[in-house]
Amino acid sequence: MKHIMNILITGGAGFIGQNLVYSLRKQGFGIRILDNFSPQIHVTQSLPADLVDQVELIRADVRDRDALEQALAGVDGVVHLATETGTAQSMYQIAHYNNVNSQATAQLLDVLANAPHSIKKIVLASSRSIYGEGAYNCETHGLVYPGARSAAQLKSHQWDPVCPQCGASIVAVPTPEAARPSPASIYAATKYAQEDLIRIAGDSLGIGTAILRFQNVYGAGQSLNNPYTGILSIFSTRIRRGMSLPIFEDGQESRDFVHVSDVVQAIELALQTDAANGGTFNVGAGEPTSVLEIANMLVDAFDGKVRPEVTGQYRLGDIRHCYADLTQIRSKLRFEPKMSLKSGMEEFASWVLSQPLPEDGLDKANEELKKRKMMS
């Protein structure tokens, strides 16, 4: 990692952050973490015992300017992971998501613009959600990008998007970074705002930047207590409790599930590769898996007794399909996903079974969405 030895990881006590810290520490890098230990994400309010003496921890909110100034002092690179996640929750906590995601990023960059610093690289954890619906192929019009599905479409169970030009059926294909951004949720809009802020400020300040658009990240260590994000965690808790496993729409909506070890690989490549500077890269496995298929895989992994139930319910702001085109990150950063979904799921299930059984919060979260008319 050329000239970068001391790294600030915002949100570094979280799922991706801790995995990144373990990997970087093995390579001898100095690590500083800025994290507020949000109760919705963190069950415990401390780092694992084997990390306490390995990193410098600043326990503070990423919106705290004084804490940001302290955290940025003397570091060479920043991995900006701190964020509020959860598509559905963002739709009614609009100001909060904007503050934590967009405004805090602006604050970080404002500190760098107005004080001496030694930052040479910023890597931003962005999201595939900025695309809205992914890329599709129309037999007549080729590559197309349909807009968000309307409430009327979802209410009538018209799950699949159609060609925006001719209305014909279309087939999902890998989504490239050049796809026109079309955020369908407040969360997605704040992630796209982060991207512009990082890209523009980095260029003007002479700081190398790399934007990584993560697909659905999973693996041992992810939060099992957040009912608004992480379908593997939500499903695993309900399976272990012998509860029903409700599947939205018709269950054929698909996602690109990428193991956290591959995400760590991508972050490290973005930090240490000059070719990453100024770039935006998809990070995924590059393969779609339906939600119904992943749910059945989990039932099998946990030897569950209750099979998934396709409910026909839906949430406003959800997309139908999106999976990553990895051409650019493969060619520029030499990234290659290494963990297969089968192996990753086995590892995840084994870890989950070693954890205390969490309370299930899905029904309560869904009732909140129904009350706000954001879910059928």
DSSP-assigned letter for residue 265 = H
Question: Rg of the Cα trace of the chain?
Answer: 20
CA distances from 316 to 166, 249, 254, 339 (A): 24, 11, 16, 32
Query: CB neighbours (10 Å) of residue 169?
Result: 12
> For residues 6 and 30, is the Cβ–Cβ distance under 8 A?
yes
How far is Cα 239 from Cα 224, in angstroms, rounded to an integer? 13
Report the candidate in 137, 113, 160 with the shortest Cα–Cα distance to residue 321. Answer: 160
86 token code pair: 């959860």
256, 134, 191, 9 alpha-carbon torsion, rounded to 10°: 30
3 state DSSP class of 181: coil
Burial 338-369 (b: 16+ CB within 10 A, else e): ebebeebbebbbeebeeeeebebebeebbebb
> For residues 198 and 209, is the Cβ–Cβ distance under 8 A?
yes
**Which residues pair with residue 41 across a beta bridge?**
none
3 state DSSP class of 236: helix
How far is Cα 118 from Cα 4, in angstroms, rounded to an integer? 10
Active site residue 228: no
Report the candidate in 123, 16, 11 with the shortest Cα–Cα distance to residue 71. Answer: 11
What residues contact 254, with CB distance under 8 A and at least 6 apart?
172, 288, 289, 290, 291, 320, 321, 322, 323
> For residues 265 and 338, is the Cβ–Cβ distance under 8 A?
yes
- Tokens 């989950």 belong to residue: 352
Q: Which of 97, 145, 187, 192 is catalytic?
A: 187
> For residues 293 and 245, is the Cβ–Cβ distance under 8 A?
no
Active site residues: 187
